[in-house]
Structures are given as C-alpha cells and as structure tokens.
Structure 1
Amino acid sequence: MPYFFDRVDTVMVPNISKLLHVARMSGVEVVYTVIESLTADGRDASLDYKLSGPLHVPKGHPDAAVLPALKPRVDDIILPKTSCSVFCSTNIAYVLRNLGTRYLIICGQLTNQCVESAVRDAADLGFLVTVPEDACAAKSESDHAAGLHNMKGFARIVSSEALQAELSGQVTIPSKIASNKKCVCYLNVAYDEAYGKHVPEMVLEMFRDAGAEPFELHNCKIAENQFPSSLDSYSGFLIMGSISSAACGAKNEPWLGSLSVFLRKLCQEERPLAGVCFGHQAIARALGGTVVVNPAGTKSGLQTYPLTDAARASLDLPSDQETIQLFCHHADTAVVLPSHAASWGYCTGGHWGMTYGNCLTTQTHPEFSTKSGLGSLRTILENDRRGRKGSVTSLLEPSEEEIDRQIGLLGSQTGYKALAVAFARLFHLLPSLKRSHQGA
C-alpha cells in the first residue's frame, strides 16, 4: 500500500505532530487511542476485527505503541480499543465527560473506518467534532475522500493549518496596517441590527469624546471565526456587547469556545484588552470567573455604582469619589471574578467592572452616551417595549415616557468619559501629556 504509507509518513504524522504542539501550548487535553487487545489471543476483540485479518495486537506488543513522532507525555491518557469505534470498546465518553470536554478534534487512521466511526458516535453523543482532513490517512485516495464526504454531516472538516491557527487564537484574516495610525482590534460579537450595526461608530465617537488620537478600528467577526493573524499589529483589543449569552456559553454559541481561548491568550501575553457588557462577562468567564443569568433580574437604565480603590485607580477618579453613574442593559452578570482580578464594586446581582493586569472591563455601556449611541439605544429600548425577540431585555417593555426619560438622563450624563479615557489610556491612544480626573 504505497499510497497509505507515503501519506502517513509525509502528511498525516507531520500534521498531527504540529497540532499536538499547538494543542498543548493552548491547554487542550490530548487523548490517544491504540488498537490493543486485553488478551493474548484477541478473543476480546470485536467481530469486525476478528473478521478483518484478524486485526489483533496483543497486550503490550510493540505494535500497540504510539508512533515515536507523536510520543505521548507522561500524564497523557492512552485508551486501548478493540473495535472500529473507540466509543464502543472503551470508556472514552465517560472520560471526556469527566474532563468537561464538549469539543473534539479527531484525527488518525483510517479515515473511512476508525476516524469516521469515532466521529459519527461522538456526534450522536452530543460532542461537537472537528476533523483536520490532512491529519488523517486511508488505504487509498478514494477511501480518504469517501470518509471525508461521509463525515460532513457529523463534523466540521478543516485543514490542520487552519486548526492550528484557531487553537492558538489567530485565525485567517490578514492584519496588514495600511497607515501609520494606531490600530485597535474590535472583536465583533454583535450581529444584530439595533446594536451591532452601530458599534464601530459608537466606539470611534466614544474615544473621540475621550480626547483620543485618531486610530483605525479593525473589525474581526468572531462568529465567523475571524481572529487577527498578527497580535503585534494592534495597540489594544476591544470586545463590546452582544445579544448572545455568556452565561449559556458555547452550548448556544459554538464560537465562544474559540473566543475564550483567544481571550486567555491576550491576558497571558498581557495585551491591552477592554470589555464592555458581554465583553466583561466573556473575559471574566474565560479567565475562570462565574457568569450567570442575573439572579436579581434583568437590569436596564442609568444606575449608580459603588467605587472600590481599584475602580478609582483604573478610572483615574478622585480618592474621595464614592459612586459613579453609568448606563447598563444586560440579563447576565459576573457573580465571581477570576482569581487575582480587582473588582470595581459589587452591586445588585454582580460585579460591575474589574481590573486584571492589562485588562479593564465593565458591565455598563459607556458607548450609549455618545450621539450615535443614544440613537441606537432608543431603537433597543423601543424593541424592548414591543417585546421583540433578539433583545436581551425584551421582557422589560418600558413605556414611551420611560424611554424618553432614560434617553434624556443619559444625554446629560458624563460619567462614561471616565471609562472612555481609561480605555484610551490602556490602548495608548491619548496624547502623552493628557492626564485628567473624570467625574460622574
């Protein structure tokens, strides 16, 4: 089988080796499965294996060892299997549940037998599966193609190169800088008309209000698996609000898993990162905090928030200022912050902000206080009033009078500038001598 051995040696093994390296660097659990009987004569093997040759590797035989190029680490899990599908002849489903695993990357040989069987069973058991097509091998090119074709309804088929980029949090979109302006990466998780469409305009206006120097805002659509390919191209990373739920997690939004990996990478590398509302929740959750549907109920409106020393320091506020007024509009909340995070204050239901190294987050919406933000907010509140789906607070149904009152109050509110200035300072967008206290 010259095709098979050539593909294993020159395609499958090198690509699996690269994936193993990136997966381990990203904290992904690695599980090996090998064909190995529990008995010397193979009487415990499946009927398929008994009829296929028979296909039997005695316990402890060298042929049951993992290839040297893919050598397991000391604490890696290795499961011996005696059937085509690992889910039939091992306790892998039990192990994966105990590991808290929902997403699987399945690769190896043969594409149209062991890999395909594992993929089908995994999908039926509720796992979300990705197959790197060039990290698999079959006896012939046609067998390989047939296996991939059959798996399309059960798994996402990608290249190993694309998967490596995804695991490392750097997926597919170029980040060439077209000018000498500083660039901020907008991690776009907002795809609705009322809010998401207007976020770039609100963000640019918010930073202008803070006195920031002109900069470019690069839009990375996270739901479409777009992540920046060069982190060094950006002076900061920004994640705003979304109609998606951080509390529900990846079971509702598959892209949240990749986003969490990327956010952890940014924090580990101490990249400047700011989060607003959903962004606050997503960052807290990615770093080990707890985000839930707000036990105090959905919150929307201008709120008065207590200030901790960490908040005053991060927002450059006077030492005697005890509160700040900001607008909020959210159904989820961060009830437990990550270890080593400094809370900005705890109000009804959760923490309204935090500082974590080079990361600043807030549950509030400073962008709604801009001119374009007021227009977007009116649309959102009117959707709330009509009880439209797609609004996180659609159960509130505020009256027209209440909408007018909220817009009026927000239009005269200046507390948001403290947040805008803090974000601009974090991203190095302020003129070097600009230092001022911003009050509520």
Structure 2
Amino acid sequence: MSQMIHNQTQATRELRKPWRRGRLAAVAGLVAAMAATGLGQAGPASAARAAEPYLPMPTGSRPVGTTSLYLKDTSRPDPWVPSVKARELMVSLWYPARSPGRHRAQYMTPTESELLLKNGGVTNIPADTLSKVRTNAFTDARPAGGAHSLPLIVLSPGHSKPRSELTALAEELASRGYVVAAIDHTYENVAQTFPDGRVTTCVTCDMKKDPTVWEKLEKGRAADVSFVLDELTGAHPKWKDARLINTSKIAMSGQSVGGASTLAAMAADPRLRAGIDVDGTVTAPLPVAGLSRPFLLLGKPATYTPGQPGTGANWESVWAGLHGWKRWLLVTGAAHTSFTDHGVLMDQLGIEDGADIPGARAMTITRRYVAAFFDQHLRKKPQPLLNKPSANYPEVKFCAPEKKTCA
C-alpha cells in the first residue's frame, strides 16, 4: 500500500546519497507526473535529458521470452464495475527461451504512458516517454524446457501500478528457469490496455481507503490469482506452452497490496506452495489456523521494524499466524518503490523517491533474495543466504520479532 515519503532538504539528500550527488532530474514534467502518481518526488531541474531508461540485465543462464494473455472469467462480475458482467484480466508471461528473439518486448504502450503522465497533469514532455524503457525479454521467443519442468511464480503489483512495474524481477526469475505470470488487476491501476484497444483506468484510486476497501482489494486479487492458475494449469490452458509448467511447484510474490494479497491468495488456494509479501501492509485476516507454508516478509525499516514505535505491528500480527518456514527481512535505506522497477528508473531519470539506497542495488537485493526463496522452497535447493546476515548484502537485516530486534 502507498506509504508516506517524508521530505528532506536537498543538502541532506546529497549527504546521505553520495552516488546521486550532482545528478539532475531528466525532465521536470516527468518528475511531477511520477510524484503525482506515487512514483517519486521531484529533484532539481534538469540541464539535459537523461539517456533512454533501461532495466538491469537478468543474471540467469537463459535468454528470456515473454507473451501476453487476455483472460475472461465469466463466473463473476467485475468487483469494482458491477455493470461489467465478467472479470477481464491481462497477464504477462515471462519464461526461459531457447534463444533471443527478434523483437525486444515493450515495457508499456504509448497510450498507457500518456495516461500515466496525464494523471499527473503533465503535458510538456513526449507522451510516450515511459513506453521507451528498454527491457531484456523478447516477444514470443521459443520457450526452453521439457514438459512439466518449470515452476510457476505469480506476481501482483502495487495499487494503482501496472504489472510492468515488476518486469525486472520477472525477467530475472525467467532467466533462472521459472515461468512468471504478472497480473494486471483491472480497474486497480492507472491504465491497462486490452487486445481490442480498450483502455481501462483506475476506479479504486478515487475510493476512500478504509480497511474494508483494502480487504476487498486483497480478497479480489486472491480470486484473480486462482482464476489465472485455472487458466494456466487446467484441462484447456490458455497458453499454448502451458505443458512446461510443473503444477506441483507454484508460488506467489507481490509488492505493496500485491504482497498483502499473497497471504489472502495462499489462504484461499492450496496450489500456492510458498509466498512473499514485499512491503505490503496486510488487512485481510489470516485463517484462524494460520498458514503453515513457507513465507517471506521483505520490506523497508521505516514501516516494518519490530519494537520500533509506530512500525512493525502489522507484520507482527501476520508473523504470529505463520507456522511454517518464515523470515522477516528489512533492507536498510529502502523506500516503498525500491523493490520495483521504479527505484531503478527513477535513479536513471534523477527522480527522488525518498530512498537512501541506489535503485540498482535495491533491485539486486530484491532479485537475489526472492530467487533464493523460490529456489529453496520450490526446487528444494538449500540457500544459506536465507539463514543469516550476509557480508555480500549488509543492507539486509534479519528480524526476530519475539526479541524486537533486527540484525
């Protein structure tokens, strides 16, 4: 869920972020748009436009392919627009490919970029700016892998954000041999394009965010996830290469409300064998019996430090209901956007997001720990990285809620 970012003076920012010293904002209007849509805060004015933004290369051994699916659940109306009698979803799939394809995948469409910028009241920069982010996956590249050989990871983005914000993580997991399905939860993001050209916008963004709305979001996303799993692993899968998926090895991760929704999805669907909440405050209650499947809490200290006044309480309640393997990890210097593509892209564009850690470093950490978690719990490959603090990643603190400590 959206977190408040406290303002700092530019002098303080420069002292705390030496890697950004002297960096200028790429486009003042883009900065304002990002700030207005919760993506960042404006930095100093730009003297020259930054180079075309790009996502970091994945580190796995395989090239990455990607494709998109349009799915329609006729068993239920849309939860936010009841006049729409079927829930429609767009899903992006990433997977290991046999070889790179000819066409590098587009990050988002020009229309989606335009609507995101207009949502911030920006009209003085190219409307397609955000559609030009360079990705590392190739559209419809031929998949690699044998039948039922690839674990499946479902990803859910933050509220008001498109599924594209999790592309760098998805590319990383796919390069390591996972199929990844990122869901756009319709009417819960600023702009979403369907194959027939329709573009839906964010109905929930204008709602008063009381606990009942957040709980409805989480439970609604859980229903979306179960439907997507049906469409990918059922008798008549909607992806032509669905035979590659190992249906006994399915898990989920999400950021912000997408992370909170991971718990609701796991409670509702036993096919999800493990899950990760990335910086998401949980509203929907766990089952009375709790959850006994592996779970990782990964977030920022400002909101989730146990024993620190005003923080930690939400996750402490969740922690008490987790009865299987579990970890509570905090990344020093992280902001809410640090765990998504936005941290990387905002650094490249000179946009402040309140983080005290470079976006590229935060993404490296996010990728490494998320991949380690899934390797251990879906592939049964022990990961010492998850057992104790690492000298390679000193920013990551292991929390012991019972002792109210993180080290």
TM-score band w.r.t. shorter chain:
0.3 to 0.5
User: TM-score scaled by structure 1?
Assistant: 0.31
Q: Larger relative contact order (C-alpha < 8 A, sep ≥ 6)?
A: 2
* Greater gyration radius: 1
Q: Which has the higher helix share?
A: 1
User: TM-score scaled by structure 2?
Assistant: 0.33
